[in-house]
Amino acid sequence: MPLSPALISEAGGDVPNAELPSSLSQATLNDIQVANFLENLESAFFEAAVTNLTQWGTAGFPDDTLDIVKRVAAQETVHKQTFRSILAHFNTATIPACQYQFPVTDTASFLKLAQIITSVGIGAVIDLAGSVSISDPALVNGIASTVANEARQDAFFRQAALGLVPNPTPQDTRISAVWALNLALPFVVPNSCPLFPEVQIYPAMTVISPVAGNSTGDSGNIVFSTTAEGLPGNISVAWINQANVPQFTAANRAGSQFTTTIPSNMGGMAFAALVNQTSAVDVATLTPMTLAGPAPVQIS
Protein backbone atom coordinates (compact mmCIF):
# COMPACT_ATOMS: atom_id res chain seq x y z
CA MET A 1 0.00 0.00 0.00
CA PRO A 2 1.50 3.41 -0.96
CA LEU A 3 2.35 5.75 1.89
CA SER A 4 0.36 8.93 2.24
CA PRO A 5 1.81 12.23 0.99
CA ALA A 6 1.55 13.61 4.53
CA LEU A 7 3.60 10.76 5.99
CA ILE A 8 6.19 11.01 3.20
CA SER A 9 6.50 14.73 3.88
CA GLU A 10 6.92 14.15 7.63
CA ALA A 11 9.53 11.42 7.07
CA GLY A 12 11.45 13.47 4.53
CA GLY A 13 11.19 10.80 1.85
CA ASP A 14 9.46 7.68 0.55
CA VAL A 15 10.33 4.02 0.06
CA PRO A 16 13.42 3.85 -2.21
CA ASN A 17 12.58 3.52 -5.91
CA ALA A 18 15.90 1.93 -6.93
CA GLU A 19 15.56 -1.19 -9.07
CA LEU A 20 15.81 -4.44 -7.11
CA PRO A 21 18.01 -7.33 -8.28
CA SER A 22 16.48 -10.19 -10.23
CA SER A 23 16.71 -12.54 -7.25
CA LEU A 24 17.70 -12.73 -3.59
CA SER A 25 19.08 -15.63 -1.58
CA GLN A 26 16.74 -17.39 0.80
CA ALA A 27 19.00 -16.45 3.70
CA THR A 28 18.63 -12.76 2.84
CA LEU A 29 14.86 -13.07 2.54
CA ASN A 30 14.76 -14.74 5.96
CA ASP A 31 16.84 -11.91 7.44
CA ILE A 32 14.59 -9.30 5.83
CA GLN A 33 11.60 -10.98 7.44
CA VAL A 34 13.30 -10.48 10.82
CA ALA A 35 13.99 -6.85 9.86
CA ASN A 36 10.30 -6.48 8.97
CA PHE A 37 9.38 -7.91 12.39
CA LEU A 38 11.69 -5.45 14.16
CA GLU A 39 10.51 -2.45 12.14
CA ASN A 40 6.90 -3.34 12.95
CA LEU A 41 7.78 -3.02 16.62
CA GLU A 42 9.72 0.23 16.19
CA SER A 43 6.94 1.74 14.11
CA ALA A 44 4.29 0.82 16.68
CA PHE A 45 6.44 2.12 19.53
CA PHE A 46 6.96 5.55 17.99
CA GLU A 47 3.40 5.87 16.68
CA ALA A 48 2.09 5.31 20.21
CA ALA A 49 4.67 7.77 21.52
CA VAL A 50 3.29 10.61 19.42
CA THR A 51 -0.06 10.26 21.20
CA ASN A 52 1.50 9.68 24.61
CA LEU A 53 3.92 12.62 24.44
CA THR A 54 1.06 14.90 23.46
CA GLN A 55 -0.60 13.91 26.75
CA TRP A 56 2.50 13.75 28.93
CA GLY A 57 4.18 16.87 27.63
CA THR A 58 7.92 17.35 27.17
CA ALA A 59 8.78 19.75 29.99
CA GLY A 60 12.43 19.38 30.92
CA PHE A 61 13.37 18.03 27.50
CA PRO A 62 14.25 19.82 24.24
CA ASP A 63 11.41 21.99 22.94
CA ASP A 64 11.30 20.09 19.64
CA THR A 65 11.10 16.62 21.21
CA LEU A 66 7.57 15.93 20.00
CA ASP A 67 8.35 17.16 16.48
CA ILE A 68 11.43 14.91 16.33
CA VAL A 69 9.48 11.89 17.57
CA LYS A 70 6.79 12.53 14.94
CA ARG A 71 9.50 12.48 12.29
CA VAL A 72 11.05 9.31 13.71
CA ALA A 73 7.63 7.63 13.71
CA ALA A 74 7.16 8.50 10.04
CA GLN A 75 10.67 7.33 9.15
CA GLU A 76 10.13 4.00 10.90
CA THR A 77 6.98 3.52 8.86
CA VAL A 78 9.06 4.09 5.71
CA HIS A 79 11.64 1.54 6.95
CA LYS A 80 8.87 -0.97 7.65
CA GLN A 81 7.30 -0.45 4.25
CA THR A 82 10.71 -0.73 2.56
CA PHE A 83 11.32 -4.21 3.94
CA ARG A 84 7.74 -5.24 3.23
CA SER A 85 8.11 -4.06 -0.36
CA ILE A 86 11.26 -6.13 -0.86
CA LEU A 87 9.56 -9.25 0.50
CA ALA A 88 6.46 -8.71 -1.61
CA HIS A 89 8.56 -8.15 -4.75
CA PHE A 90 10.10 -11.59 -4.29
CA ASN A 91 6.78 -13.29 -3.39
CA THR A 92 7.86 -13.87 0.18
CA ALA A 93 5.50 -13.52 3.13
CA THR A 94 5.57 -10.16 4.85
CA ILE A 95 5.38 -10.14 8.64
CA PRO A 96 2.22 -8.57 10.07
CA ALA A 97 2.40 -6.51 13.24
CA CYS A 98 1.92 -8.18 16.61
CA GLN A 99 0.35 -6.60 19.67
CA TYR A 100 2.88 -4.81 21.84
CA GLN A 101 3.40 -3.84 25.48
CA PHE A 102 5.89 -1.08 26.21
CA PRO A 103 6.74 -0.34 29.86
CA VAL A 104 6.66 3.45 29.57
CA THR A 105 4.65 5.72 31.81
CA ASP A 106 6.07 9.17 31.10
CA THR A 107 8.31 11.07 28.70
CA ALA A 108 11.52 10.17 30.53
CA SER A 109 10.85 6.42 30.47
CA PHE A 110 9.81 6.61 26.81
CA LEU A 111 13.02 8.37 25.77
CA LYS A 112 15.17 5.92 27.74
CA LEU A 113 13.49 2.91 26.12
CA ALA A 114 13.61 4.61 22.71
CA GLN A 115 17.40 4.70 22.96
CA ILE A 116 17.58 0.97 23.74
CA ILE A 117 15.14 -0.03 20.97
CA THR A 118 16.96 2.14 18.46
CA SER A 119 20.33 0.64 19.45
CA VAL A 120 18.92 -2.83 18.85
CA GLY A 121 17.68 -1.72 15.43
CA ILE A 122 21.08 -0.27 14.54
CA GLY A 123 22.87 -3.47 15.53
CA ALA A 124 20.50 -5.66 13.53
CA VAL A 125 20.72 -3.54 10.38
CA ILE A 126 24.55 -3.50 10.59
CA ASP A 127 24.40 -7.30 10.63
CA LEU A 128 21.96 -7.35 7.71
CA ALA A 129 24.27 -5.08 5.69
CA GLY A 130 27.17 -7.40 6.39
CA SER A 131 25.33 -10.55 5.33
CA VAL A 132 23.90 -9.10 2.11
CA SER A 133 27.30 -7.69 1.16
CA ILE A 134 28.32 -11.31 0.60
CA SER A 135 25.12 -12.90 -0.72
CA ASP A 136 23.20 -10.01 -2.31
CA PRO A 137 25.44 -6.93 -2.62
CA ALA A 138 22.88 -4.97 -4.66
CA LEU A 139 21.00 -4.30 -1.41
CA VAL A 140 23.94 -2.90 0.55
CA ASN A 141 23.52 0.78 -0.30
CA GLY A 142 19.89 0.97 0.77
CA ILE A 143 20.48 -0.94 3.99
CA ALA A 144 23.56 1.10 4.87
CA SER A 145 21.58 4.32 4.42
CA THR A 146 18.99 3.00 6.89
CA VAL A 147 21.73 2.43 9.50
CA ALA A 148 22.83 6.05 9.14
CA ASN A 149 19.29 7.28 9.71
CA GLU A 150 18.82 5.08 12.78
CA ALA A 151 22.12 6.38 14.19
CA ARG A 152 20.91 9.98 13.90
CA GLN A 153 17.78 9.03 15.81
CA ASP A 154 19.85 7.28 18.47
CA ALA A 155 22.04 10.36 18.91
CA PHE A 156 18.99 12.45 19.79
CA PHE A 157 17.65 9.90 22.28
CA ARG A 158 21.04 9.56 23.98
CA GLN A 159 21.32 13.30 24.45
CA ALA A 160 17.68 14.07 25.26
CA ALA A 161 16.92 11.05 27.44
CA LEU A 162 20.18 10.31 29.21
CA GLY A 163 22.14 13.53 28.94
CA LEU A 164 24.94 11.57 27.28
CA VAL A 165 27.16 12.56 24.39
CA PRO A 166 25.45 11.67 21.10
CA ASN A 167 28.51 9.92 19.65
CA PRO A 168 30.12 7.81 22.41
CA THR A 169 32.17 5.43 20.24
CA PRO A 170 33.79 5.31 16.80
CA GLN A 171 31.71 2.26 15.82
CA ASP A 172 28.22 1.07 16.72
CA THR A 173 27.64 -2.49 17.90
CA ARG A 174 26.51 -5.20 15.52
CA ILE A 175 24.17 -7.91 16.79
CA SER A 176 22.74 -10.90 14.97
CA ALA A 177 19.17 -11.01 13.67
CA VAL A 178 18.46 -13.79 16.18
CA TRP A 179 19.72 -11.69 19.08
CA ALA A 180 17.75 -8.67 17.88
CA LEU A 181 14.51 -10.62 17.72
CA ASN A 182 15.10 -12.03 21.22
CA LEU A 183 15.69 -8.49 22.50
CA ALA A 184 12.36 -7.45 21.00
CA LEU A 185 10.34 -10.28 22.56
CA PRO A 186 9.71 -8.67 25.99
CA PHE A 187 7.68 -5.98 24.20
CA VAL A 188 5.50 -8.46 22.28
CA VAL A 189 2.22 -9.69 23.76
CA PRO A 190 2.52 -13.50 23.90
CA ASN A 191 0.70 -15.37 21.13
CA SER A 192 -0.29 -12.13 19.39
CA CYS A 193 1.83 -12.50 16.23
CA PRO A 194 -0.02 -13.74 13.14
CA LEU A 195 3.31 -14.85 11.65
CA PHE A 196 6.63 -15.25 13.43
CA PRO A 197 10.09 -15.48 11.84
CA GLU A 198 11.75 -18.87 12.23
CA VAL A 199 14.59 -18.14 14.65
CA GLN A 200 15.92 -19.63 17.87
CA ILE A 201 14.35 -18.22 21.05
CA TYR A 202 16.54 -18.08 24.15
CA PRO A 203 15.66 -17.72 27.85
CA ALA A 204 15.55 -14.10 28.94
CA MET A 205 18.42 -12.29 30.63
CA THR A 206 17.87 -9.02 32.47
CA VAL A 207 20.07 -6.45 34.18
CA ILE A 208 19.22 -6.24 37.90
CA SER A 209 21.93 -3.88 39.15
CA PRO A 210 22.90 -1.18 38.22
CA VAL A 211 19.37 -0.11 37.32
CA ALA A 212 18.60 -1.26 33.78
CA GLY A 213 18.90 1.54 31.24
CA ASN A 214 21.30 3.64 33.33
CA SER A 215 24.95 3.96 32.35
CA THR A 216 27.16 1.43 34.11
CA GLY A 217 30.66 2.65 33.25
CA ASP A 218 33.33 0.24 32.00
CA SER A 219 34.30 -1.30 35.33
CA GLY A 220 32.76 -2.78 38.47
CA ASN A 221 30.24 -5.53 39.01
CA ILE A 222 26.92 -6.08 37.28
CA VAL A 223 24.11 -8.44 38.30
CA PHE A 224 21.85 -10.22 35.83
CA SER A 225 18.88 -12.54 36.25
CA THR A 226 17.77 -15.25 33.85
CA THR A 227 14.79 -17.51 33.24
CA ALA A 228 17.11 -20.27 31.99
CA GLU A 229 16.91 -23.62 33.76
CA GLY A 230 19.35 -26.51 33.91
CA LEU A 231 22.39 -24.38 33.22
CA PRO A 232 25.81 -26.06 33.27
CA GLY A 233 28.11 -25.36 36.20
CA ASN A 234 30.78 -23.43 34.31
CA ILE A 235 29.17 -20.38 32.71
CA SER A 236 30.48 -17.06 31.45
CA VAL A 237 29.07 -13.79 30.24
CA ALA A 238 29.96 -12.93 26.66
CA TRP A 239 30.15 -9.24 25.78
CA ILE A 240 29.76 -7.67 22.33
CA ASN A 241 30.69 -4.02 21.85
CA GLN A 242 31.49 -1.96 18.77
CA ALA A 243 33.37 -3.92 16.05
CA ASN A 244 35.50 -5.85 18.55
CA VAL A 245 35.87 -9.56 19.23
CA PRO A 246 33.77 -10.87 22.12
CA GLN A 247 35.03 -10.55 25.66
CA PHE A 248 34.22 -13.16 28.30
CA THR A 249 33.90 -12.75 32.06
CA ALA A 250 33.29 -15.40 34.72
CA ALA A 251 29.74 -15.56 36.10
CA ASN A 252 29.17 -16.24 39.80
CA ARG A 253 25.72 -17.79 40.05
CA ALA A 254 23.26 -17.60 42.95
CA GLY A 255 19.94 -19.16 41.98
CA SER A 256 18.48 -17.31 39.01
CA GLN A 257 20.92 -14.41 39.43
CA PHE A 258 24.58 -14.15 38.57
CA THR A 259 27.24 -11.51 39.07
CA THR A 260 30.11 -10.69 36.76
CA THR A 261 32.61 -7.90 36.14
CA ILE A 262 32.08 -5.37 33.36
CA PRO A 263 35.07 -5.53 30.99
CA SER A 264 37.10 -2.39 30.44
CA ASN A 265 37.51 -0.59 27.12
CA MET A 266 33.84 -0.67 26.19
CA GLY A 267 31.53 2.25 25.46
CA GLY A 268 28.07 3.19 24.23
CA MET A 269 25.67 0.24 24.10
CA ALA A 270 27.00 -3.26 24.76
CA PHE A 271 25.13 -6.56 24.64
CA ALA A 272 25.71 -9.46 27.02
CA ALA A 273 24.71 -13.12 26.84
CA LEU A 274 25.20 -16.20 28.99
CA VAL A 275 27.41 -18.91 27.48
CA ASN A 276 29.49 -21.93 28.50
CA GLN A 277 32.05 -21.62 25.67
CA THR A 278 34.60 -18.90 25.02
CA SER A 279 35.70 -19.73 21.48
CA ALA A 280 33.45 -17.31 19.56
CA VAL A 281 35.23 -14.71 17.44
CA ASP A 282 32.23 -12.52 16.56
CA VAL A 283 28.50 -12.25 17.16
CA ALA A 284 27.76 -14.69 14.34
CA THR A 285 29.73 -17.48 15.99
CA LEU A 286 28.57 -16.40 19.46
CA THR A 287 24.83 -16.54 18.69
CA PRO A 288 24.48 -20.36 18.49
CA MET A 289 26.45 -20.67 21.75
CA THR A 290 23.93 -18.50 23.63
CA LEU A 291 22.33 -20.07 26.71
CA ALA A 292 20.34 -16.98 27.74
CA GLY A 293 20.00 -13.41 26.61
CA PRO A 294 21.11 -11.17 25.22
CA ALA A 295 20.66 -8.15 27.47
CA PRO A 296 21.40 -4.54 26.50
CA VAL A 297 23.90 -2.79 28.79
CA GLN A 298 24.36 0.98 28.54
CA ILE A 299 28.07 1.43 29.25
CA SER A 300 28.40 5.15 28.51
Among the residue ranges 56-65, 104-113, 203-212, the one predicted with the least confidence is 203-212
Give the length of the chain.
Answer: 300
- pLDDT value of position 163: 85
Closest CA to 125 of 83, 75, 96, 69: 83
- What is the C-alpha separation between 158 and 63, in angstroms, rounded? 16
- pLDDT value of position 213: 52
**Would you say residue 234 has pLDDT above 70?**
yes
In the sheet with 257-261, reading across from the earlier edge strand, the strands are 205-209, 221-226, 257-261, 252-254
C-alpha distances in angstroms, 2 versus 55, 86, 117, 184, 203? 30, 14, 26, 27, 38
Q: Give the percent of the chain with pLDDT over 70.
A: 97
State pTM to two decimals. Answer: 0.93
- What is the C-alpha separation between 229 and 162, in angstroms, rounded? 34
How high is the mean pLDDT of the chain? 92
Q: What is the pLDDT of residues 9-51, one digit of tens each?
A: 999 999 999 989 999 999 999 999 999 999 999 999 999 999 9
* One-letter-per-residue 3-state SS of 194-258: CCCCCCCCCCCEEEEECCCCCCCCCCCEEEEEECCCCCCCCCEEEEECCCCCCEEEECEEECCEE
Average pLDDT over residues 124-151: 92
Q: Are 272 and 291 in contact (CB under 8 A)?
A: no
Q: pLDDT band at 218, cuts 50/70/90? A: low
Amino acid identity of residue 189, one-letter, is V
Among the residue ranges 80-94, 152-166, 181-195, 275-289, the one predicted with the least confidence is 152-166
- What is the C-alpha separation between 11 and 14, in angstroms, rounded? 8
Q: Which residue has the higher pLDDT, 230 or 248?
A: 248
Taking phi over 0 as left and psi of -120 to 50 as alpha, with beta for the rest, 91 belongs to left
Q: What is the pLDDT of residues 163-196, one digit of tens each?
A: 888 999 999 999 999 999 999 999 999 999 999 9
